[in-house]
């Protein structure tokens, strides 16, 4: 149950798969990341001409990976519906015609939101090359879903393609079912991720550490950040206005204090700065936006943290 003043919201089922698809399409940046683009559903074909239509595609420029997006309701059978459908989509996505189609769609999407590309400091004349490099990689399966079963988790582990599964929940107000709240994952974190980023060996136990599992508090605990440190973010709106600089102070709990407010994550803190500068962005990657006085990003410090953990183990 969620409480908002005297209002109570209880979890409710999605009306249909289309409702979930709409939530994902409207809020894809909260799922696939702030430097991602969402491409609408398109027909792609296997080598023998069998057609399939995924719910969409997502290209993450920062992570240099792309997703076949399949929004699902768990009431659909894993074995008779989800598994065969995804298998067909993987095969169809490997066809050269499919890659060409997705590259064209991605270029059009970037033209509509060029600031996402600008943030990554990639030469705009190399856009086609960058996209082709990403699309030449095997796709990840991106699955926003309303619930997760053991069968779904077991099936995901068997796929050669990495699978990311995000849990999306729906809540309705008690006594007012038209007042709806959707719960999305924090910091783009999937509930199930079969992709391996970093492996740390501790004795005989293998432990996978994903970058999104690392918090600013972890950086504080290892001395990479000291409470009271000041971080800087620079942002220049595309409207021709002057570049603006924002400063944030990190407290002992890893919270960010910026513009007189406290934020629990670097991304929310960075977004506050962008919106103060007049941007209409809904998301931003705070890990690459905030820098130390030495010029290191939080993402740089996160990599240093991983190296420290590797040495310790």
- Work out how many domains the chain is built from and give that number: 2
CB neighbours of 175 closer than 8 A, spacing ≥ 6? none
> Are 19 and 136 in the same domain?
yes
In a domain, 203, yes or no: no
pLDDT of residue 312: 64
In a domain, 115, yes or no: yes
pLDDT of residue 206: 46
> Are 226 and 134 in the same domain?
no
d(CA 57, CA 133) in angstroms, rounded, equals 16
pLDDT tens, residue by residue, 52-65: 999 999 999 888 99
In a domain, 135, yes or no: yes
Ranges of the chain whose pLDDT falls below 70: 117-119, 121, 196-209, 238-240, 312-313
In a domain, 146, yes or no: yes
Helical H segments across 27-77, by residue range: 29-32
pLDDT of residue 195: 81
pLDDT of residue 127: 79
CA atoms within 13 A on the CB side of 51: 4
pLDDT tens, residue by residue, 148-192: 999 999 999 999 999 999 999 999 999 999 999 999 998 888 999
Longest dimension (CA), the chain: 62
Sheet architecture: strand order including 2-4: 2-4, 7-11, 169-173, 176-183
pLDDT of residue 282: 87
pLDDT tens, residue by residue, 210-225: 788 899 999 999 999 9
For residue 28, what are the domain limits? 2-195
> Are 153 and 222 in the same domain?
no
Domain boundary among 133, 166, 195: 195
- Class of residue 294 by CB neighbours under 10 A (exposed 0-12, middle 13-18, buried 19+): exposed
This prediction's pTM? 0.85
pLDDT tens, residue by residue, 232-243: 998 877 666 778
In a domain, 32, yes or no: yes
Which among 144, 142, 147 has a CA at the least distance from the CA of 194?
142
Q: Which two tokens stand for residue 165?
A: 């599964």
Domain boundary among 195, 229, 248: 195
pLDDT of residue 239: 62
> Are 55 and 150 in the same domain?
yes
Q: Is 261 helix (H, G, I), strand (E, B) or coil?
A: strand
pLDDT of residue 200: 45
> Are 168 and 284 in the same domain?
no
In a domain, 204, yes or no: no
């Amino acid at each position: 149950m969620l409480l908002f003043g005297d209002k109570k919201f209880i979890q409710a089922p999605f009306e249909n798969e289309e409702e979930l698809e709409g939530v994902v399409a409207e809020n894809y940046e909260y799922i696939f990341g702030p430097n991602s683009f969402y491409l609408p559903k398109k027909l792609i074909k296997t080598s023998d001409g069998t057609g399939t239509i995924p719910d969409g595609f997502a290209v993450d420029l920062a992570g240099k990976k792309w997703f076949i997006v399949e929004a699902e309701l768990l009431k659909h059978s894993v074995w008779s519906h989800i598994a065969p459908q995804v298998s067909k989509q993987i095969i169809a996505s490997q066809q050269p015609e499919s890659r060409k189609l997705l590259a064209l769609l991605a270029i059009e999407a970037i033209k509509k939101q060029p600031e996402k590309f600008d943030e990554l400091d990639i030469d705009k004349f190399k856009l086609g090359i960058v996209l082709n490099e990403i699309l030449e990689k095997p796709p990840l399966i991106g699955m926003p879903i309303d619930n997760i079963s053991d069968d779904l988790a077991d099936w995901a582990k068997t796929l050669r393609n990495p699978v990311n599964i995000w849990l999306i929940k729906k809540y309705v107000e008690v006594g007012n079912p038209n007042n709806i709240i959707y719960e999305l994952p924090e910091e783009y974190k999937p509930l199930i991720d079969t992709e391996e980023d970093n492996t740390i060996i501790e004795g005989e136990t293998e432990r996978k550490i994903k970058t999104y599992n690392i918090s600013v508090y972890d950086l504080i605990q290892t001395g990479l950040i000291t409470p009271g440190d000041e971080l800087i973010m620079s942002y220049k709106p595309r409207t021709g206005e002057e570049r603006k600089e924002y400063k944030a102070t990190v407290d002992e709990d890893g919270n960010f204090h910026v513009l007189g407010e406290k934020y629990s994550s670097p991304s929310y803190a960075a977004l506050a700065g962008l919106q103060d500068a007049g941007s209409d962005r809904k998301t931003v990657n705070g890990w690459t936006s905030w820098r130390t006085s030495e010029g290191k990003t939080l993402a740089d410090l996160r990599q240093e943290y991983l190296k420290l953990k590797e040495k310790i183990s």
